Amino acid sequence: MRIDALPDGPPSQRWHVLGDELVTVRPARPEDAGRIGEYIRGLSFASRYRRFLGPVNELAPADLHRMTHGNDAAPPALIVETGDGDARTVIGEARYAFDGIACEFALSVSDAWRGRGVGTLLMGIMEERAKLRGAHYLVGDILRSNQPMLALAHKLGFAVTRPVLDDSLFKVTKCLSRLDAVQTLNEGLSRELPVAA
């Protein structure tokens, strides 16, 4: 897999994903609300369930507003698109929000674009942005049955723990600062001990 940044920089970044196919990653804008809503409706029920940790058919206007405007804790969503102009299609989205020293993420990739590096690309961008904002940890809640996301998190070096209050979830945590990484290893969250009760 080859992913190269092209030099046109934020807010619109172009990347190669697998061979000649180009995708754009950029923060969502207010006028994207309709297209993001359509993208979410186009995901399979299982994908939406995994993304939102429950049965969601479509996003409420308030959710779309948050995704396209952001707020103090969370920047606008990142969206991944193919095509140009009116032919643009949303093929992935990611949200990240800051809570003290942690940055929490959630993302999805369209069913047709799975396994081509889009999820890895979004995770990498969120990690960079979390570091820039000074977050010490990148964290996410993942359904225990969500093997693709757990595999992706494992591949990217996240430690996996079981939240005390919700049996259906794993929490994945990646330390973004060296000091915290040492501390986390001392607390037994190393990759040799992937699941701590």
Report the interface residues with ligand COA, using CB under 6 A: 47, 50-51, 106-109, 114-120, 140, 142, 146-149, 151-152, 155
CA dist 174 and 130 (Å) reads: 11
> Smallest gap, in angstroms, from Cβ of residue 88 to ligand COA?
18
Nearest-CB residue for ligand COA: 119
Sheet bearing 169-175, strands edge to edge: 13-16, 22-27, 78-82, 89-99, 102-109, 137-143, 169-175, 159-161, 195-196
- Angle formed by the axes of helices 147-155 and 118-132, to 10°? 50
H or E segment at 81? Answer: strand 78-82
Measured from the CB atom, the residue of 33 and 142 that comes closer to ligand COA is 142
> Smallest gap, in angstroms, from Cβ of residue 86 to ligand COA?
25
> Smallest gap, in angstroms, from Cβ of residue 18 to ligand COA?
9
Task: Select from 58, 65, 63, 116 the least CA-distant residue to 91.
Answer: 116
Measured from the CB atom, the residue of 64 and 150 that comes closer to ligand COA is 150
Measured from the CB atom, the residue of 182 and 191 that comes closer to ligand COA is 191
> Smallest gap, in angstroms, from Cβ of residue 121 to ligand COA?
7
Contact 73, 98 (CB under 8 A): yes
Measured from the CB atom, the residue of 76 and 117 that comes closer to ligand COA is 117
